[in-house]
Amino acid sequence: MFEQAISGVPLTAEKRSEAIRLANSASKMAGDDAFTLARAGHVLTYLGREYDRGASMVEQAVALNPNLGIAWYSRGWVTMMCGEAERSIESFDRMIRLNPLDPLRASAWNGSSFAFFTLGRYEDGCVSAMKSIQVGANFHTLGAFIVNAIPAGQVAEAQQAAARLLKSRPESRATDAEEAFPTRSSEMRNRMIAALREAGLPG
């Protein structure tokens, strides 16, 4: 999951199938293990597009252990992919409050930036994306900035981010967002691809 998210390169069919198989196995053995439920639910949503099932699993995880940061982290991403942006931001905020130094906080800022995009809060999305870029610039973090910066009117900054992305990965395409930034909403997906194209990514 992280390999695809960071690189923007869709996984091979074999890798995707193996990741989903392992997540399904984990979900069957999880029982009341909040960590396992959260991570398996995240993978099944991101790679398997099982939005309802993944949402149910992460909700169960936070109910079992409301003090587990990774459960709120996974809930943040899953609710964002399901189109529940406000609950996504709430989840990421809760995760960071539990542990302000959590190594995953940069990814939480990244997730919040996509949620802000969904809500039309583009300036907030740019700020959140920039925080994540400062920790690590990759397809996911730069992409999050671009999709917010274009509708925010920060076209030059979006173009610079796209150029930076293409320099590190020349084969990047706007349509890579279909796999790297999955969402239940086809409208959101199309808007993200359009913003990436406007910023200069081909495809």
pLDDT tens readout for residues 45-57: 999 999 999 999 9
CATH classification at residue 108: 1.25.40.10
- Domains contained in the chain, number: 1
Confidence of residue 130 (pLDDT cuts 50, 70, 90): very high
SS (H, E, C) 49-77: CCHHHHHHHHHHHHHHCCCCHHHHHHHHH
- Predicted local distance difference test score (pLDDT) of residue 69: 97
Q: What is the mean pLDDT of residues 53-68?
A: 98
Identify the CA nearest to 82 among candidates 49, 108, 57, 117: 49
| pLDDT of amino acid 11 | 86
Looking at the chain, the whole-number percentage of residues with pLDDT higher than 70 is 100
pTM of the model: 0.94
| Residues spanned by the domain of 188 | 2-199
Residue 98 pLDDT > 80, yes or no? yes
Does residue 35 contact residue 71 with C-beta atoms inside 8 Å?
yes
Residue pLDDT, tens place only, 9-47: 788 999 999 999 999 999 999 999 999 999 999 999 999
